[in-house]
Structures are given as C-alpha cells and as structure tokens.
C-alpha cells in the first residue's frame, strides 16, 4: 500500500511539472513564420530567408536546401537568426521562376522536423 501511494505521489509531481512547463519534453520544432511565406512572391536576384519556429532549434545541425527552377539544388549557408528559434540565409543570383526551400531542423528535444516553402522570384 505504501509503495502504491508513493507511485501516485511521483505521478502527480511529474504531471504538475509537465503542466507547468508545456514546452518541456515534447516540443517538436514547427515553423510559425517565414519570409518569404509559402506561395509568396519576392523580387530577385537576391533573396533573404528568415524562418521562425515555435521552439528553440540547433542552427548548427539544421539544413536549408533550395530547389531551383531547372531541377538542380543549392545548399544554403545558415546564419543564426535574431533569436534561438530562428534561422536566416541568403541566396544570390536567383532568376525569375518557381523555387522551393526545404528546411530541416533539430529541436532542443532532440527531434528532427522537416518542411518546405514554395515561392516565386519575380524580376
């Protein structure tokens, strides 16, 4: 009986901790804002990218890859954003056309999340 009571107490303490810190433990990084936005149109030939997530991410272990209109890909060098939940990059020499930015980030909970952002470059 005493062991059962101790288990219940520890369970309640754990649930209280999870409720008090909702970003603790299971917060996969999900994109909440991007520039350019999905389906957006931007002027080229230089495009600045800024991606913001709902949690802190590890910029050193994240990747950004750009699909070009001719079917080739270009890896982008990532700069840390203004905060620990942001990534930033720049691509130069982009001609008018349809592009897709693929992102992959490692969140602080150790999980990798991925997505893509289609956009068009105008002259």
CA dihedral (34, 37, 43, 44) positive or negative: positive
Q: In the structure encoding, which two tokens stand for residue 81, read together?
A: 């954003």
DSSP letter (8 states) at residue 38: T
The predicted structure's pLDDT at residue 24: 43
What's the pLDDT tens digit per position in 60-119?
Answer: 899 999 999 999 999 999 986 678 999 999 999 999 999 999 999 998 888 999 999 999
Domains for the chain: give ranges and CATH numbers: 27-122 (2.60.40.1220)
What's the pLDDT tens digit per position in 47-58?
Answer: 999 999 999 999
pLDDT tops 50 at residue 11: no
Bridge-based pairing state of the strands 40-43 and 112-122: parallel
Select the more confidently predicted residue: 94 or 16: 94
- The span from the CA of 14 to the CA of 11, in Å, is 5
pLDDT tops 70 at residue 9: no
- The span from the CA of 96 to the CA of 93, in Å, is 10
Q: What are the strands, taking DSSP E only, across the chain?
A: 31-35, 40-43, 47-53, 57-67, 73-75, 79-80, 86-91, 97-107, 112-122
Q: In the structure encoding, which two tokens stand for residue 83, read together?
A: 């905060």
The predicted structure's pLDDT at residue 109: 82
The predicted structure's pLDDT at residue 28: 83
State the pTM of this model.
Answer: 0.75
The predicted structure's pLDDT at residue 56: 92
Of the candidates 67, 50, 62, the one whose C-alpha atom is nearest the C-alpha of residue 106 is 62
Select the more confidently predicted residue: 5 or 119: 119
């Amino acid at each position: 009986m005493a062991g059962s009571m101790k288990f219940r107490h520890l369970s309640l303490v754990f649930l209280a901790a999870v409720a008090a810190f909702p970003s603790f433990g299971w917060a996969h990084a999900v994109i909440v804002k991007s520039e350019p936005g999905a389906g957006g149109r931007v002027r080229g030939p230089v495009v600045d990218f800024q991606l913001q997530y709902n949690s802190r991410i590890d910029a050193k272990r994240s990747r950004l890859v750009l699909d070009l209109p001719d079917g080739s890909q270009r890896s982008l060098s990532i700069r840390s954003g203004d905060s620990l939940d942001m990534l930033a990059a720049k691509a130069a020499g982009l001609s008018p056309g349809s592009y897709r930015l693929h992102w992959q980030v490692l969140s602080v909970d150790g999980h990798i999340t991925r997505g893509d952002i289609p956009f068009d470059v105008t002259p």
